[in-house]
Amino acid sequence: MASSSAVTAATIEVEVSGERRKHVQEMSEDGDEVPQGYVWKDKSRHGPIELVVPLAEDFPVIDLSRLLSPSTAIDAAAELASLRSALRSWGCFKAINHGIDISLLENLRQFSREFFHLPMAEKQKYARGAAGNDGYGTDPMLFKNQPLDWTDRLFLTVTPRSHQNLQYWPENLRDILNEYADKVGKIQVELLKAMARSSNLPEDRFLKQYGEQPYMVARFNFYPPCKRPDLVLGLKPHSDGSALTFLLQDDEVKGLQLLKDDNWFEIPTMPHALLVNVGDQLEIMSNGEFKSPVHKVIINSERERNTLALFCSPDVSMEIGPVEELVDGARPRLFKNIQNYIPTYFHYFQQGEMPIDAMRI
């Protein structure tokens, strides 16, 4: 689920040959051998690719109707306690009863399936430009010998609305994505209030660091099948650079694995739920109370997988740092303050490193 933001032209994909690099979907459909650049080599930190890991059977599920509009004080207290536990143990949870129409979620899934199966000439109309990350493309190659992800994607800046680059937005996507983003944005505000309450803070503590123009980007992820899934990763092990990420999972094909207590677990699918996970920026703001979980995506040998991630971050003009109430003699300050974390994040992420480690004191 890794996020990125607009970056300078100097950091955009370098093509040594001067020609367009072949998309992963093309390699999959053509039956190509896996290029060396996609072979996962860094086994020292997170181990080799394991296609079968234990299912996270106790993965937390939060009922947002009970959390945000409880019928009784008992319901509210119980769900807030469940949220607190989820944030401190897994760093993420499945959100159910979120109030978003199932038909809207299905329309987004249908768009994704149809878009990635358009002829290449049609998709190239939305190809990533030379001055940012918005648009259709594959994993950008920013550094020599960086590990490449087995994925194609459509990346779009959603908010602030003034930052939308509509030349990269297919017309049949615009209304449904804006509607979905508006609904997720409202849920995010209420969740941040609840997260503050779960730490016995005034409910505006995290929102204060969000600013007037919070940033949201969407990424439609397409993971084509690979005949050697033991060699490639759809997404390399990482934590997200956002404050919160909302993931609409594939409703049939699993592939998301999460690291907990030094063990990998497979995250179950739940068709109409949203997977909400803490990103690095919220771990920084909470002074480490909320965990930004390390996760990765494995590839299926026969079936494609489609997901949609919304990465939500504070206004890039805001400086974020640990909330003062969460720093004391028993809880020393763990992180530096930073403004516009995403470029720092993306620099380390593309090299297979953990960006949040650069923020530790």
| Residue 83 CB partners (closer than 8 Å, separation 6+) | 62, 67, 93, 194, 195, 198
Structural domain count of the chain: 1
Note whether residue 10 is domain-resident: no
Residue 304: give its domain's CATH number: 2.60.120.330
| Residue 282 CB partners (closer than 8 Å, separation 6+) | 195, 206, 242, 243, 244, 290, 292
DSSP state of 257: E
Note whether residue 143 is domain-resident: yes
Nearest residue to 258 (alpha-carbon basis) of 291, 292, 295, 307: 295
Lowest mean pLDDT across 251-260, 318-327, 342-351:
342-351
| pTM of the predicted model as reported, rounded to 2 decimal places | 0.93
As a whole number of angstroms, the distance between CA 279 and CA 78 comes to 24
What integer is the mean pLDDT of 85-112? 97
Are 260 and 281 within 8 A, CB to CB? no
Note whether residue 286 is domain-resident: yes
Which amino acid is located at 137 in the chain?
Answer: G
Range of the structural domain that residue 340 is part of: 53-359
152-167 tens-digit pLDDT: 999 999 999 999 999 9
45-92 tens-digit pLDDT: 777 899 999 999 999 999 999 998 888 888 889 999 999 999 999 999
Q: What is the pLDDT of residue 1?
A: 56
Share of the chain above pLDDT 90, in %: 80
Average pLDDT of the chain? 91
164-214 tens-digit pLDDT: 999 999 999 999 999 999 999 999 999 999 999 999 999 999 999 999 999
Note whether residue 6 is domain-resident: no
Note whether residue 289 is domain-resident: yes
Note whether residue 95 is domain-resident: yes
- Dihedral of alpha carbons 146, 147, 152, 153, sign: negative
228-263 tens-digit pLDDT: 999 999 999 999 999 999 999 999 999 999 999 999
- Dihedral of alpha carbons 326, 328, 330, 333, sign: positive
Q: How many CB atoms are closer than 10 A to CB 229?
A: 19
As a whole number of angstroms, the distance between CA 317 and CA 149 comes to 30
Note whether residue 245 is domain-resident: yes
As a whole number of angstroms, the distance between CA 76 and CA 304 comes to 39
Q: What is the pLDDT of residue 284?
A: 98
Note whether residue 35 is domain-resident: no
> In terms of residues, how long is the chain?
361
Nearest residue to 294 (alpha-carbon basis) of 144, 90, 140, 139: 90
Q: C-alpha angle 143/146/148, rounded to 5°?
A: 120
Strands of 295-297's sheet, edge to edge?
Answer: 235-238, 295-297, 256-260, 263-266
